[in-house]
Amino acid sequence: MDRAELSITVHRTGDEAVLRLAGEIDMLTAAQLSTVVNEILTEPPPRIVLDLGGVTFCDSQGLGTLVVLSRKASHAQALLILTNVGDFLLRVLDITGLRSALMIRNDAPAP
């Protein structure tokens, strides 16, 4: 069995940190995502954007991690925003009732 992989690229500007994720968010990679977001939260920008366009899989551990990170960001007076959320993940968030616990912006960014 191949080890699940998650690639995270961070781009910071004054008002936000954009994390481009590619791969799987699951029990083997959720801690990696938590570590990166927690490092950003040491000096939080107003917005932390998780670009999930490259995410191919997310299990219950990944879902829980997204909710926990959203709460941690809120406590640090930052918004955690999910963008480019795939249809499969939107369905899972709807089924689990977690969609309302997360801020999702799937609209195109302003030019």
Average pLDDT over residues 37-61: 96
20 Cβ contact list (under 8 Å, min separation 6): 8, 9, 11, 51, 53, 54
Cβ(26)–Cβ(63) under 8 Å? no
Predicted TM-score (pTM) of this structure = 0.91
Q: Which CATH number fits domain 17-104: 3.40.50.300, 1.10.3210.10, 3.40.50.720, 3.30.750.24?
A: 3.30.750.24
Average of per-residue pLDDT across 32-41: 98
User: In this prediction, what percent of the chain has a pLDDT beyond 90?
Assistant: 90
Q: Domains of the chain: which residue ranges?
A: 17-104
pLDDT at 3 over 70: no
Q: What is the pLDDT of residues 71-105, one digit of tens each?
A: 999 999 999 999 999 999 999 999 999 999 999 99
State residue 92's pLDDT score: 94
Q: Which residue has the tokens 């609209």?
A: 107
